[in-house]
Amino acid sequence: MILGAYGLLLKNHMRFVLFGLITAFASSFGQTYFIGIFGHAIQQDFAMSHTQWGGIYMAGTLLSALLLPVTGKLIDQVPLQRYTFFVVLFLAFACWFITQVHSFAWLVVGIFLLRQSGQGLMSHVAYTTMGRYFEQQRGKATAMAAMGFAAGEAALPIIAVTAIAAVGWRWSYMGVALVVLLIILPASMWLLRGHHGRHQDYEQKLKAQEEASLDQATSVVKETSATQSVENLINAKSWRRRDVLKDYRFYLILPGVSATSLVSTALFFHHLNLADEKGWSHTFITGNYLLYSLIATVMAVISGQLIDRFSALSLMPFTLLPLVAALLMINLVDSYWVIWPYMVFLGIGSGLAQTAQAALWPECYGVRYLGSIKSLYWTFVVFASALGPVWLGYLVDLGYSFQQSVLTMAVYLVLATGLMMLGLRKFRLA
More confident call, 233 vs 412: 412
More confident call, 136 vs 390: 390
* C-alpha distance from residue 389 to each of 98, 133, 214, 273, 411 (Å): 19, 35, 48, 12, 17
Rg of the Cα trace of the chain?
21
**In this structure, are residues 412 and 259 in contact, taking their beta carbons and an 8 Å threshold?**
yes
Question: Helices 32-46 and 271-278: crossing angle, nearest 10°?
Answer: 70
Count of C-beta atoms within a 10 Å radius of residue 210? 15
Q: Using the 8-state DSSP alphabet, how is residue 279 labeled?
A: T
Q: What percent of the chain has pLDDT over 70?
A: 91
CATH fold of the domain at 2-429:
Growth Hormone; Chain: A; (1.20.1250)
Domain boundaries, the chain: 2-429
Range scoring the smallest mean pLDDT among 44-48, 137-141, 328-332: 137-141
> Using CA atoms in the order 36, 114, 413, 395, what is the torsion angle rounded to 10 degrees?
50
Q: Is the pLDDT of residue 23 over 80?
A: yes
Q: Is the pLDDT of residue 320 over 70?
A: yes
**In this structure, are residues 142 and 359 in contact, taking their beta carbons and an 8 Å threshold?**
yes
Average pLDDT in the 420-427 region? 88
* Mean pLDDT, the chain, integer: 85
Counted residue by residue, the chain has a size of: 430
The pLDDT tens digits of the residues spanning 286-319 come to 888 889 888 988 888 888 888 888 888 888 889 9
CA 205, CA 197: separation in Å to the nearest integer?
12
The pLDDT tens digits of the residues spanning 165-190 come to 999 999 999 999 999 999 999 999 99
The pLDDT tens digits of the residues spanning 235-284 come to 445 788 888 888 999 999 999 999 998 998 888 888 888 888 888 888 88
CA 342, CA 144: separation in Å to the nearest integer?
24
Report the pLDDT value the prediction gives residue 222, as an integer from 0 to 100: 53
Range scoring the smallest mean pLDDT among 43-52, 215-224, 225-234: 225-234
- Nearest Cα to 139, choosing from 420, 380, 363? 363
pLDDT band per the 50, 70, 90 thresholds, residue 324: very high
pTM value is 0.73
Report the pLDDT value the prediction gives residue 3, as an integer from 0 to 100: 62
Average pLDDT in the 382-399 region? 84
* C-alpha distance from residue 310 to each of 168, 304, 331, 359, 421 (Å): 48, 10, 34, 12, 16
- Residue 382 burial (CB < 10 Å; 0-12/13-18/19+)? buried
Q: Is the pLDDT of residue 417 over 50?
A: yes
Q: With H, G, I as helix, E, B as strand and everything else as coil, classify residue 261.
A: helix
Report the pLDDT value the prediction gives residue 399, as an integer from 0 to 100: 87
CA 127, CA 353: separation in Å to the nearest integer?
13
More confident call, 94 vs 62: 94
- Nearest Cα to 263, choosing from 364, 158, 342, 159? 342
CA 284, CA 34: separation in Å to the nearest integer?
16
> Using CA atoms in the order 367, 372, 373, 376, what is the torsion angle rounded to 10 degrees?
160
Buried b (16+ CB within 10 A) or exposed e, 238-271: bbebebbeebebbebbbbbbbbbbbbbbbbbbbb
Q: Is the pLDDT of residue 19 over 50?
A: yes
